[in-house]
Structure 1
Amino acid sequence: MRALDDDQVRALRTRGQGIGGGVTFGTAAETVERVVGIQAQDARPAAIGIGVRTRDITAADVRLALEEDRTLVRSWFLRGTLHIVTTADLRWLLALLGPRFLRLSARRHRELGLDEALCDRAEAVITDTLAARGPSTREELTDRLAAIGVPKRGQEAFHLIRRTALRGLICHGPSRNGAATAVLLADWLPDAPEGPTGESAVTELARRYLRAYGPAAPEDFAGWSGLPVTAARRAWRSLDTSGELRHVRVREQDCALLADRADELDLAPLPAPDVRLLPGYDNYLVGYRSSALSVPAAHEKRIRPGGGQIHAAVLVDGLARGTWSPRHGRADITLFDPPPAVPGLADGIATADDDLARFLRTP
């Protein structure tokens, strides 16, 4: 079994995700398909996460893909959190993940006083409202739910809307004055295809994960997807039996990547650093159990200060070298101290900043 050094692992992972080695993808849908969804609690960082991986794209193009072309859709998927996924992946991911996160949410629903009868009534209110009125904001749906006794303040309305989405009945639709709206999924995406089911779906998701995130371990996949570790290990065995895995050692841990990516193991590094401005909660920063290979230990708190927060990172050849925040359409960058002695870093940062400005520009 071949042992990989840290630089080799970062090169494979960043190339797989389109954030290193000079790799980018051609369209928003191609990017999202490759990384199997972009975490999207906040729409703007999610769009930047797509933009940093995609050639010659703007925020307007991402919105077009979501609202006009409808090749992308935003709803609750991996880990039970909001993601943008491709419409082609929508139904099978919902069928695989929705029931699990509904089960895991049952206790919280009970704590909020949301019994099954009230949940069912709320689901009817939400779907009837969308059928009659079309796209509706969370505030508008909360007002309608108040008529059946759901408090306007608190988390109850949010959990009822999320529950309806996890059941495959609604999803996010067009934004209105900067606010997200919900729509009936069957109306918004009537032609969304089906896909693999059962164990085949778990194996397919693991295959897709390894294509983008490998080398990785089953425990990484379980944490990223929200599926049980036992299911992850079964998927690994299935892929191994079919000859699809190449086993490697990463910091004394058994990991794997897809065998058809093995030819990337010995690619020479680029002559200049590849700098990307990752948004907060980027896939690269949440896709593994440990951030030891992506964030220097001395600066871990700068990226992960605690409380579940993950800050935007200046990524240089797969390693976080600083943080940034948007300011007047540009990046306000703070490099870790001392600044890394990386030849060409200043030019790489300037190019990444220009790319961000181009992505965010308003027509």
Structure 2
Amino acid sequence: MRQLGASQARLLRAWSQGVAGDRRATSVPAVLERCLAVQAQDLRAAALGIRARGCGLTEADVHQALGAERTLVRGWFMRGTLYLVPAGDAGRLRELLAPRLLRRSERRYRELRLGPDELALGERVITEALADGPLTRDELAARMTEAGLDASGQVPFHLVRRSALLGTACFGPVREDGSATYVLARDWLPASAGPSGADAVGELLRRYLAAHGPATTADFATWSGLGLPAVRSAWERLLKGGELEPCRVGGVDQYALPADAPRCEEPTGDVRLLPAYDNYLVGYADRRLSVEPEHEHLVRPGGGQISPTVVVDGLVRGVWRRDRARGAVVEPFDGGLPGAGAEARDAEALDVEALGVEALGAEALDAELSDVCRFLAA
């Protein structure tokens, strides 16, 4: 079994995610093909996550891919959370994940007094309304009210979400004012064809490990939201078939896909500014490889929040925030990053040397900050 040190395993993970090793894609679809999915409760944070994995990409490029190009789509996928995924994968992911999510939603429907008749009416209203073209949730709620449904509170959200999980509707283009719209999935998404059942779980596991490996069974189960029995079964099939490479990281058994191309295994001083709830942090049950325990409370300050982070060679070295006057403001751990003063610069150099990097040039951080500021202003 291959033995990996923490730094080496972290670099392999960050390389797989496209956030280390100077690995950047040149288009929005290429980013998503590489990292599989980007968490997207906040669409602007998702766009920043794509920017961090790309070269020269802007928020407008993301909206173009969601709209005119139709190369990616936003939807409720892993764990019922909103993600951006390649449009060609959306149908297969929905077919695999939606049945479990719909079962989990039944209690909420009852709480909202959405019985079989109300659910059927809501689905019919949404289908007929979207035949006229893209509509926002508020516009769909107005149609529901006209049809005699109580569209107050969370009812429109759950009816639209249910329609998406059933495969009737999906997110469409983003309007100029930033409003999300919905469209008929049959008119918007490419036809899905691919494995189903247990084979679909295995395919998702392959895609997960390609974008996140090395990782554990618990990491995949937590990220995907699939039940452990299905996850373990798929894992065992791939392992027996020789499709997984076992490795040991800090006494823990982990797995990756056998390397079919050179990967970055040496630190390069690669700096990335990742948005809140970035997949590099939420894609694992255990984040100790990417966040040192003493900094966990700064990355996760409470209330389920995950802060925007500064990552150097896959290790979180600080957090950042957007200031209207100053743009991206970095708040580094342990004394600062290069350019923050001689004392802070020396402390940062020592920390970097401890990770095996001889030096981290201030130019790398300055370039990343400039890129973020340009992206936010675009």
Q: Which residue is 1:269 aligned to?
A: 267
Q: Is the 8 A contact 2:270 2:313 kept in 1?
A: yes
Note if 1:335 corresponds to 2:332.
yes
Q: Structure 1 196/26 Cα, relative in aligned 2: closer, same or farther at 3 Å?
A: farther
Q: Is the 8 A contact 2:8 2:266 kept in 1?
A: no
**C-alpha separation in 1, matches of 2:186 and 2:301:** 40
Letter in 2 for 1:251: G
Note if 1:317 corresponds to 2:313.
yes
**C-alpha separation in 2, matches of 1:225 and 1:82:** 12
Q: Which residue is 2:82 aligned to?
A: 82
Identity among equivalent pairs (%): 48
Show the 5 A alignment for 1:199-210: 199-210=198-209
Letter in 2 for 1:30: A
Moved more, 57-66 or 352-361: 352-361
Q: Which residue is 2:340 aligned to?
A: none
**C-alpha separation in 2, matches of 1:355 and 1:192:** 36
Which of these residues, 290, 294, 299, is aligned with residue 294 of structure 1? 290
Show the 5 A alignment for 1:238-277: 238-260=237-259, 264=263, 267-270=265-268, 273-277=269-273
SS of corresponding position for 1:309: coil
**C-alpha separation in 2, matches of 1:268 and 1:225:** 30
Letter in 2 for 1:322: G
Q: Structure 1 321/242 Cα, relative in aligned 2: closer, same or farther at 3 Å?
A: same
Show the 5 A alignment for 1:94-113: 94-113=94-113
Question: How far does the alpha carbon of each residue in 1:82-133 deviate from its partner, in whole angstroms, 9 at most, with x for none?
Answer: 111111111111111111111111122222222222111111111111113x
SS of corresponding position for 1:243: coil
Q: Which runs of 5+ in 1 are unaligned?
A: none
Letter in 1 for 2:368: A
**C-alpha separation in 1, matches of 2:260 and 2:234:** 18
Letter in 1 for 2:283: G
SS of corresponding position for 2:259: helix
Letter in 2 for 1:235: A
How far is 1:140 from its partner? Answer: 1.2
Q: Which residue is 2:179 aligned to?
A: 179
Q: Is the 8 A contact 1:90 1:192 kept in 2?
A: no
**C-alpha separation in 2, matches of 1:254 and 1:97:** 27
SS of corresponding position for 1:315: strand
Note if 1:281 corresponds to 2:257.
no
Q: Structure 1 105/138 Cα, relative in aligned 2: closer, same or farther at 3 Å?
A: same
Q: Is the 8 A contact 2:169 2:182 kept in 1?
A: yes
**C-alpha separation in 1, matches of 2:138 and 2:8:** 48
**C-alpha separation in 2, matches of 1:135 and 1:306:** 37
How far is 1:6 from its partner? Answer: 1.1
Q: Which residue is 1:305 aligned to?
A: 301
Q: Is the 8 A contact 1:275 1:316 kept in 2?
A: yes
Note if 1:23 corresponds to 2:23.
yes
How far is 1:145 from its partner? Answer: 2.1
Which of these residues, 360, 366, 376, is aligned with residue 344 of structure 1? 360
**C-alpha separation in 1, matches of 2:123 and 2:303:** 31
SS of corresponding position for 2:173: coil
How far is 1:24 from its partner? Answer: 1.4
Q: Which residue is 1:57 aligned to?
A: 57
Q: Is the 8 A contact 2:11 2:266 kept in 1?
A: no
Q: Structure 1 305/146 Cα, relative in aligned 2: closer, same or farther at 3 Å?
A: farther
Q: Which residue is 2:3 aligned to?
A: 3
**C-alpha separation in 2, matches of 1:165 and 1:345:** 47
How far is 1:197 from its partner? Answer: 1.1
Q: Is the 8 A contact 2:28 2:62 kept in 1?
A: yes
**C-alpha separation in 1, matches of 2:3 and 2:320:** 34
Letter in 1 for 2:248: R
Instruction: Give the number of aligned pairs.
Output: 356
**C-alpha separation in 2, matches of 1:77 and 1:159:** 15
Letter in 2 for 1:334: E
Q: Which runs of 5+ in 2 are unaligned?
A: 337-347, 353-358
Question: How far does the alpha carbon of each residue in 1:61-84 deviate from its partner, in whole angstroms, 9 at most, with x for none?
Answer: 111111011111111111111111
Q: Is the 8 A contact 1:244 1:260 kept in 2?
A: no
How far is 1:218 from its partner? Answer: 1.1
Q: Structure 1 251/108 Cα, relative in aligned 2: closer, same or farther at 3 Å?
A: farther
Q: Which residue is 2:194 aligned to?
A: 195
Which of these residues, 333, 355, 358, is aligned with residue 371 of structure 2? 355
